[in-house]
Amino acid sequence: MNRDANIVQFSAQYSIGGCPSLYFRLFDLDPDLLPLFKYNCKTFSTPQECLSSPEFLEHIRKVMLVIDAAVTHLENLHCLEDYLSNLGRKHQAVGVKVESFEAVGDSLLYMLEKCHGPAFKMNVREAWIKLYSTVVKAMSCGWKV
Q: Using the rule CB under 6 A, which residue among 27, 101, 110, 128 binds ligand HEM?
A: 101
Instruction: Cite the beta strand spans of the chain per DSSP E.
Output: none
42 in contact with ligand HEM (CB under 6 A): no
Angle at which helices 5-14 and 122-140 pack, to 10 degrees? Answer: 80
Secondary structure (3-state) at 142? coil
Instruction: Considering the complex, state which of residue 4 and residue 30 has its C-beta at the smaller distance from ligand HEM.
Output: 30
Q: Using the rule CB under 6 A, which residue among 7, 19, 22, 33 binds ligand HEM?
A: 33
Q: How far apart are the first and last CA of the chain?
A: 28
Q: How far is the CB of 10 from ligand HEM (least distance, A)?
A: 16
Q: b/e for 13-30, b at 16 or more Cβ within 10 A?
A: ebeeebbeebbbbbbeeb
Instruction: Considering the complex, state which of residue 39 and residue 120 has its C-beta at the smaller distance from ligand HEM.
Output: 39
Q: How far is it, in rounded angstroms, from Cα 49 to Cα 11?
A: 28
- Pattern of binders to ligand HEM over 49-88, x per CB under 6 A? ------x---x--xx--xx-------------------x-
How many residues bind to ligand HEM according to rule CB under 6 A?
A: 18
Q: How far is the CB of 118 from ligand HEM (least distance, A)?
A: 27
